[in-house]
Amino acid sequence: MTTFPRRPPLSPATRAAQALRHVDAYGGGVTPAIDLSSTFARDGDYAPRQSYIYARDGGPTVEHAEAVLADLDGAAASLAFSSGMSALIALMDTLRTGDHVAAPAVMYHGAIAWLRRLAERRGIEVTFFDATKDGALEAALRPDRTKLLWIETPTNPTWDVIDVAAAAEAGHAAGARVAVDCTVAPPCTMRALELGADFAFHSATKYMGGHSDLTAGVLSAARTDDLWDEIRLVRTLTGGVIAPFDAWLLIRGIRTLFLRYERASASAMAVARHFDGHPGVARVLYPGLPGHPRRDVAARQMKDGFGGMLSILTNGGQSEARDVARFVEVFIPATSLGGVESLIEHRKTVEGPASLVPETLLRLSIGIEDPADLIADMEQALDRAGCARGT
Ligand SMILES: Cc1ncc(COP(=O)(O)O)c(C=O)c1O
């Protein structure tokens, strides 16, 4: 099982690389074994041998992943789910009719869809605020009625930045719990709980897994209490737990998280800088660019890079933007983010007509390839699509 570091404090990067210094008790393996059991034998007194009873509540491999995750997030506890959405839904399932939730108007569209559904079907009031406007978050809170302030930073797919510490303070002053979707700013760069949040949420399908080969979600809590127990119960009753094999893939992914994120951040910065002011591009949205309105906030709370996500607004219209996504040869036209391979996506097409996303926006997830190849690929696609014409 897991052997914790003998001489703390070791840095988070060291602990992540060694998956909490794992040496298998059975054969000395330096990677954990996968325990696929769906049920666990009881002892002679009919008590569980360890804490394990049935896999819908977790098991040894899931627990190992959760120990690594809690360490990474600096959390009292973490729970691993079968997807980001199942983690989000478990948290939001604890809301009651009449409760109020505040959230950004532009963020991951699945979160918006679920909040709209709660508003329609469960009588939960939701206020979506414009995260780019100073004071809008505070104005969206209803003292003593807002039970949850859900934020995402940087926000998908415009990469606006929300000040987590300030949001946590405002949320707590209103009596709300504060949850941060840290999918794009995982704990190798931002530790939301240390900034004051109650919950750090991750779609671990993205940077934490890192190889586009699993779906997983994570909730980490600053403290364990009745609400945390309720979230765990929802996971058990809905079967939202991560599968053991995916928990193992997640542990493996986390071992290289710091390295991958550092590389993706450096390459994204190079791509952003190259296309900022390019004749085929109207705007580049990236928190690391000097012109980003909240670069200082991003730099304060993202300690180790601004991440691999950026968007470009191409010159021309929707059809030129979609042509760029068709003409790329190195970027892969696919949804998702945070993997080792670079992806491109025409976000408006994916989100549908109700989306507020500009029709010329292309979302880029920068992977770990040579950034020169990515830049050259985008150059040729912009050229072929005729984006620079007429400028
Ligand atoms: C920022 C963000 N949050 C949440 C999710 C949902 O996670 P999953 O797809 O793992 O359910 C995603 C997925 O794209 C995301 O990008």
Instruction: Report percent pLDDT > 70 for the chain.
Output: 97
**In this predicted structure, which of 39-43, 176-180, 331-335, 355-359 has the lowest mean pLDDT?**
355-359
pLDDT, tens digit, 9 for 90 and up, residues 295-331: 999 999 999 999 999 999 999 999 999 999 999 999 9
Q: Quick check: CB of 85 below 6 Å from ligand 1?
A: yes
Amino acid 316: pLDDT: 96
Give, using CA atoms, the residue closest to atom 9 of ligand 1: 84
Residue 4 has pLDDT above 60, yes or no: no
User: Tokens standing for 223?
Assistant: 């403290």
Does pLDDT of 282 surpass 80?
Answer: yes
Question: Which residues have a Cβ under 8 Å from the Cβ of 111 and sit 6 or more positions away?
Answer: 88, 103, 150, 152, 181
315 Cβ below 6 A of ligand 1: no
pTM of the model: 0.96
Sequence-distant (≥ 6) Cβ neighbours of residue 51 within 8 angstroms: 63
CA–centroid distance, residue 36 to ligand 1 (Å)? 26
The answer, yes or no, to whether any atom of ligand 1 lies below 6 A from the CB of 199, is no
Ligand 1 centroid to 86 CA: how many Å? 10
- Find out whether the beta carbon of 240 lies less than 6 Å from any atom of ligand 1: no
Tell me which residue of 30, 71, 66 sits closest to 51, measured CA to CA: 66
Does 294 have pLDDT greater than 80?
A: yes
Q: Is the CB of 158 under 6 A from ligand 1?
A: no
Residue 1: predicted pLDDT: 46
Banded pLDDT at 3 (limits 50, 70, 90): low
Residue 120 scores a pLDDT above 60: yes
pLDDT at 21: 77
pLDDT digits (tens, 9 = 90+) for 83-102: 999 999 999 999 999 999 99
pLDDT of residue 391 exceeding 80, the answer is no
Ligand 1 within 6 A of 365 CB?
no
Tokens 């928990």 found at: 247
Q: Is 206 a catalytic residue?
A: yes
How high is the mean pLDDT of the chain? 95
pLDDT digits 0-9 by tens, 205-214: 999 999 999 9
Q: What is the pLDDT of residue 7?
A: 60
Task: Identify which of 108, 152, 309, 365 to mutate to test ligand 1's pocket (most ligand atoms within 8 A of the CB).
Answer: 108
pLDDT at 361: 98
Distance 3 CA to ligand 1 centre (A): 32
108 catalytic residue (yes or no): yes
Distances (CA, A) of 216 to 150, 240, 329, 344, 345: 19, 10, 29, 21, 21
The yes-or-no verdict on residue 5 having pLDDT over 80 is: no
Has residue 2 got a pLDDT over 60? no
- Among residues 15, 71, 99, 108, which one is catalytic? 108
Q: 181, 246, 323, 377: which is the annotated catalytic residue?
A: 181
> Exposed, middle or buried by CB within 10 Å (0-12, 13-18, 19+), for 244?
buried
Q: What is the pLDDT of residue 44?
A: 87
* pLDDT above 90 as % of the chain: 89
Q: Is 107 exposed, middle or buried (0-12, 13-18, 19+ CB in 10 A)?
A: buried
Question: What confidence score (pLDDT) does residue 328 get?
Answer: 98
The active-site residue, picked from 206, 252, 260, 363, is 206
pLDDT at 390: 61
Please tell me the distance between residue 350's alpha carbon and the centre of ligand 1 in angstroms.
14
CB of residue 183 inside a 6 A radius of ligand 1: yes
